[in-house]
Amino acid sequence: MWKKLLCTVIICGVILPIQVEETTYAQDEKQTLIIEVEGDPEDVKEEIETYHPFIEIVAVYDLLFKGLAVEGKMEQLSKLGSIEQVKTFHQVQTYESLPLSKHTADVIEKKDSSQPEPYDLNTTSYTGKGVKVGVIDTGVDYNHPDLQKNYQSGYDVVDFDEEPMETTPEEGHPTSHGTHVAGIIAADGDIKGVAPDAEIYAYRALGPGGSGSTVQVLAAMEKAMEDGMDIINLSLGNNVNVPDYPTSIAVNRASELGTIVVIANGNSGPGAWTVGSPATANKSVSVGAATTAQDEPVLRDTFEEKEIPLIEAIGAPPWELDNSYQLVDMDNAEQGSSLHGKIAITKRSDIPFFEKAIQAEELGAEALIIYNSEPGPIQASVENNRQPITIPVASIQQKEGEWIQSNITQGSYYMDSAQKEVALTIAPFSSRGPVTVQWGIKPDISAPGTAIWSTVPGGYQAMNGTSMAAPHIAGAFAVLKEARPNWNNEQLIGALKTTAKPFEENGDRLNATIQGMGLLQIDAAMDTPAIIYDPQLEFGKLDRYQQEFTETVTIENKTETAQTYHFETPERKDGLIWNLPQSFTIQPNEQKEIPLKLSVNRERLEEGVHEGWLNLVQADQSYALPYIIVNQEADQPKTAGFEFYMEPFEDGKYKYQYYVTEPVKSLEVNLYHPETLLFERKLLEEGKLEEGMREGVLSKEEAGPSGYYLALITVELENGEFDQLETIVFIE
């Protein structure tokens, strides 16, 4: 009996609650595994074909990931553990999760006049003609009339065939995410993508409900590289903020092999350190989500001067309420009570969103608000096969929901529902940097990511997320690549970063770990008079009393005349002393390396992360270069990516792994009952650990009784302080 491993891959358009589907397999039922190997995968292929003839080799991977996909009966596959080069296996997993949309004409929604179309961003005459863009996602509805012309080919690493179609209702929880992403890049019909003549190749790495394993993503990347993609779009990720996670390593390798890899930064904002792999890869182009010019619904308490933004649910009527309403706790409403004329509020639970919406309708509520049961935003979907939802439904964050509930308990509580014009800025859900260990700036750039109108199976829909921002950048690269065919990838990336427009709030420029270089400007990038290569200045960590850092930037003059540049005097900050060139000249079409020196005094500068901007000026042109430096300590998570699962080839043994982002004195993992939070037992204890990935094995006796547990990971730091992280583990 095998059970599917607990693994989470987050689609960056929405945040999905994922449940593991526990499956008991018949001994004669064929299964597909992906095997990770040491050495040459072809050698392992030859050994399997020689000594295990009843096992089929589905695919061999050797570019970005070393391994094989194999198919056979469980009894046959279990014998592969005897092959010396086999490191571990990864199952092709199936999960149950919230569907993004239905695959019927019902998903066609009325387009609001304020909702932007992707092509609105492209004001040039170029359309990405002849550029190959790989979409690694949930698949693509290649029969959609707006995608048929540009869809070329693809592959499905979930089902291992050449039909990367979205998951249909007959196959499980249906998906639409990849089709939406593909439409933003290159739709060419009733709506147009950023690059409507680009060639779309689809790679289905995420199955029913929009989830999949790390290795499925790696396998899809490998296939895309074999097919010669110019650009790869990955609107997916996890919550592991480290620079050298396997998917991040693969992204860097793909970049080195000549492909531009564009990745959504994640939807776990607005806190710092929320970017996850593979957006943490230093050679990726990681994308944050900006708001778009539109109105959004809000709730206001004028007496408390409180305003709460609402995230409208998919499948519900638009939130157009414009009045004062009493808010009532639906979870504790008396039996037989009426909510007529009131707004119901409920906490997210195991009850599906659409059932909560139906309950609110039956109680006569004007609308329903669902607040999250954990920190962070959610975008609910109330689509269902039973009945259409007729009242507006929206979601809010946990803290805001609890604030409303506290007011309700004190008596009748009213709030004003209104529409607010959204200022152009970074969307609150957009994940932030920095990246741990390397103290890198992510995202690299920002693009529109709210209320983006694009294709879905059976029609069109507006969606929010960094998933929607990333394909704008992928499409922009396709346009630039057509317009400037002689530019290399470094020039294309440098041009887009150099010309991005930084966001400001109240006259102050936002930190780069929030927005990257700023909002992309395709036309400006195409005709930029200068390209600054790697303009993000990452000075690292200060450990000594007085330390001098040097970052070198390369600037290319793209004009036909010599250009003179100078840096404006940086904003004064106690403990930072800059040594910047007063003035320098670069000849036509010449590149020049410019050293930028920073002297830091540890005692005069506060501990922690320090960010700012340098301004480079050439005549009437100004270029913004962000910088980051860490003085001694940072408040980053000290551990990440804890995984615990049974080894398939080792009877009764469990493998664990986790990442430590700085040296620690000790680490301890204690298990608690997930509902009562009562202490169960200690799972793991380890002594002094260095920075990096840690892994090990526990016996069945050491792991203890099976079940789901809340794992509290506690590390003691070198300075004697403690840091903790919570996660869920499953012991079979």
Q: 343-378, pLDDT tens digit by residue?
A: 999 999 989 999 999 999 999 999 999 999 988 888
Residues 6+ apart with CB under 8 A from 432: 269, 270, 271, 272, 273, 274, 275, 513, 514
**Catalytic residue chosen out of the listed positions 52, 90, 177, 180:** 177
Q: Is the pLDDT of residue 333 over 90?
A: no
Q: Which has the higher per-residue pLDDT, 203 or 95?
A: 203
Residue 35: which pLDDT band, with cuts at 50, 70 and 90?
A: confident
What is the rounded average pLDDT of the residues 441-445? 97
For the chain, give every residue range classified as CATH 2.60.40.10: 529-631
Domain 295-421 sits in CATH 3.50.30.30: yes
- What is the pLDDT, as a whole number, of residue 717? 87
Specify the CATH architecture of the domain 637-732. Sandwich (2.60)
Share of the chain above pLDDT 90, in %: 56
Q: 144-178, pLDDT tens digit by residue?
A: 999 999 999 999 998 889 999 999 988 888 999 99
Q: Respond yes or no: is residue 146 known to be catalytic.
A: no
Output the CATH code of domain 97-292+426-498.
Answer: 3.40.50.200
For the chain, give every residue range classified as CATH 3.40.50.200: 97-292+426-498
**Catalytic residue chosen out of the listed positions 277, 467, 472, 723:** 467
Query: What beta strand segments (E) does 558-607 contain?
Result: 563-567, 576-579, 584-586, 591-601
In the chain, helix, strand, coil percent, each to 5?
20, 35, 45
Fold for domain 529-631?
Answer: Immunoglobulin-like (2.60.40)
For the chain, give every residue range classified as CATH 2.60.40.2550: 637-732
- What is the pLDDT, as a whole number, of residue 90? 64
Rounded Cα gap, residues 661 and 490, in angstroms:
29
**Catalytic residue chosen out of the listed positions 52, 101, 103, 137:** 137
Q: Are 568 and 542 in contact (CB under 8 A)?
A: no
- What is the pLDDT, as a whole number, of residue 11? 46
This prediction's pTM? 0.80
For the chain, give every residue range classified as CATH 3.50.30.30: 295-421
Count the neighbouring beta carbons within 10 Å of the beta carbon of residue 247: 28
Count the neighbouring beta carbons within 10 Å of the beta carbon of residue 444: 28
Give the sign of the dihedral formed by CA 349, CA 354, CA 357, CA 363.
negative
- What is the pLDDT, as a whole number, of residue 523? 96
Bridge partners of 646, per DSSP, are: 654
Crossing angle of helices 246-256 and 214-226, in 10° steps, is: 10
Q: How far is CA 284 from CA 71, 203, 250, 291, 473, in A?
A: 33, 19, 10, 22, 12
Rounded Cα gap, residues 302 and 418, in angstroms:
12
The amino acid at residue 210 is G
Q: Is the pLDDT of residue 718 over 80?
A: yes
Rounded Cα gap, residues 33 and 294, in angstroms:
46
Give the burial class of 256: count Cβ atoms within 10 A of its Cβ; 0-12 exposed, 13-18 middle, 19 or more buried.
Answer: exposed
Bridge partners of 553, per DSSP, are: 594
Q: Respond yes or no: is residue 177 known to be catalytic.
A: yes
Burial 101-110 (b: 16+ CB within 10 A, else e): bbbeeebebe
Strands 445-448 and 260-264: unpaired
What is the rounded average pLDDT of the residues 74-93? 75
- Listed range (332-341, 354-363, 590-599) with the worst mean pLDDT: 332-341
What is the rounded average pLDDT of the residues 48-66? 88
The amino acid at residue 183 is G
Q: Respond yes or no: is residue 472 known to be catalytic.
A: no
